[in-house]
Amino acid sequence: MPARTTDDQQVDSTLARSSPLARLVQAPRAALVWMKSNRLAALVLALASLASVGGLVIVTLRIAAGRQPEVQVTLQQCLEALDEGRYEEAVSLAETLRQQSQAEQQSGGALYVLGAAMARQAGEALLKERENKYLLAANYLEQARREGFPPDRQAEGLYLLGKSLYYSGQLAAGRPVLREALEFDAPWRTELHGLLAAAYAHGTDADAARALEHNSGYLSDERLSAEARHRGLLQRAQILLRLGRLSDCRTALERIPEQSSSYADALVLRGQLLLEEARRLKTKKDPSTQDQQAAQAKFSEALQTLRSAEAHDTLSAQATRKAMYVTGLCLLEMGDTEAATNQFIRTHALYSGTPEGLAADLEQAELLRLAGDHL
């Protein structure tokens, strides 16, 4: 074997230094040398490495935490919040419950809680917000009824649904629901009678006879407060007037004392009663002079009664606007067309956004048409 030359030894040395194993062995030594000569840079590099490792740990922990199972909302939690008057919490829980599987929704339970909470909040809301809240409550409760009210909530569900339908202006739809709710022995039976009386007394398909029946059911409750009884008597007088039972209407009105909050409205109704009595005398087949004089006397008494109603009215002015409109009708019946027209103009100007204001505007337009004035 030939002897190795110096050049061969240099080649072997170069190969050895450039081999992976050699570089692996020499790397720590070279790094140590670099760190000694560049201490500040080495410190920065070490801190950056530590931060990277810490960030990786945090991300890993967060991912692990995100994989933890979510806490499931139960219907019982929703109902407890509802019953304790924590309506916002009840709504939030019910919304979460709706997002869970259909099996966990438990027969419309979440929808029931949403509707019940909305209905109870509507009762405490401002007047301008109340109708919209009741409308939303009715929608939720109707869906809950189709899917099934929660156990032991059938009676209250029907009561709240019927009430929400009534106060959102859906009288025809509310009547059968209120009647069904009345079949249960529940603490709100008296209120249901009152709602049914009002629902049957109004609307295009009103039924005064059934309204009177439910009004009797309402007034039969001996536990009624004085003010609640007075409101019931006022409702009864309105129904009796619609039925043409004038004597019974007068009797009901006489039971409402002057100190009652319903007294101003009772005076308006008394004015309407006098107006109707005067009309009957005036429109007799062959009215005598005495009948005509009696009619004029009742017209005059009606005007005085309506002015008294305005004087007894509260800040809400509900009785006032009714009294002003009926005053216009009374003047019209008395043959004073000019005074009646002016009265309707004033009523519409003051209460244009109310039923009485709109009715006054229609009366005014009709009088102008008859007079040939189409302005």
pLDDT tens for 4-60 read 444 444 444 444 444 544 454 455 555 555 555 656 555 545 555 555 545 544 444
Q: Which residues of 9-28 are buried (b: 16+ CB within 10 A; e: fewer)?
A: eeeeeeeeeeeeeeeeeeee
Q: Mean pLDDT over all residues of the chain?
A: 85
Asked if residue 35 is part of any domain, the answer here is no
Asked if residue 58 is part of any domain, the answer here is no
Question: What pLDDT score was predicted for residue 343?
Answer: 95
Asked if residue 26 is part of any domain, the answer here is no
Residue 275 has pLDDT above 50, yes or no: yes
| Same domain membership, residue 167 and residue 77 | yes
C-alpha to C-alpha distances, 360 to 94, 203, 249, 322, nearest whole angstrom: 47, 20, 25, 10
| Same domain membership, residue 233 and residue 143 | no
Distance CA(277)–CA(27), nearest Å, equals: 118
Distance CA(278)–CA(300), nearest Å, equals: 10
| Same domain membership, residue 245 and residue 173 | no
Residue 1 has pLDDT above 60, yes or no: no
Residues in the chain: 375
| Same domain membership, residue 295 and residue 249 | no
| Same domain membership, residue 314 and residue 240 | no
Asked if residue 236 is part of any domain, the answer here is yes
Q: What is the mean pLDDT of residues 87-91?
A: 95
| Same domain membership, residue 87 and residue 172 | yes
Answer with the residue of higher pLDDT: 176 or 317: 176
Answer with the residue of higher pLDDT: 373 or 202: 202
Question: Which of 233, 261, 289 is where one domain is finished?
Answer: 261
226 confidence band (pLDDT: 50, 70, 90): very high
The domain tally of the chain equals: 3
DSSP-assigned letter for residue 149: P
Contact 279, 248 (CB under 8 A): no
Tokens for 19, please give them: 């081999």
Strands (E) located in the chain: none
pTM, two decimals, is 0.76
Which residues, 6 or more positions from 180, have their beta carbon under 8 angstroms from its beta carbon? Answer: 158, 162
Question: What is the domain extent for residue 297?
Answer: 278-375
Q: What is the mean pLDDT of residues 319-325?
A: 95
Question: What pLDDT score was predicted for residue 53?
Answer: 47
| Same domain membership, residue 131 and residue 81 | yes
Question: Which of 158, 186, 214 is where one domain is finished?
Answer: 186
| Same domain membership, residue 213 and residue 136 | no
**Main-chain phi, psi angles of 109, to 5 degrees:** -60, -45
Decide: helix, strand or coil at residue 102.
Answer: helix
325-358 pLDDT per residue, tens: 999 999 999 999 999 999 999 999 999 989 999 9
DSSP-assigned letter for residue 184: S
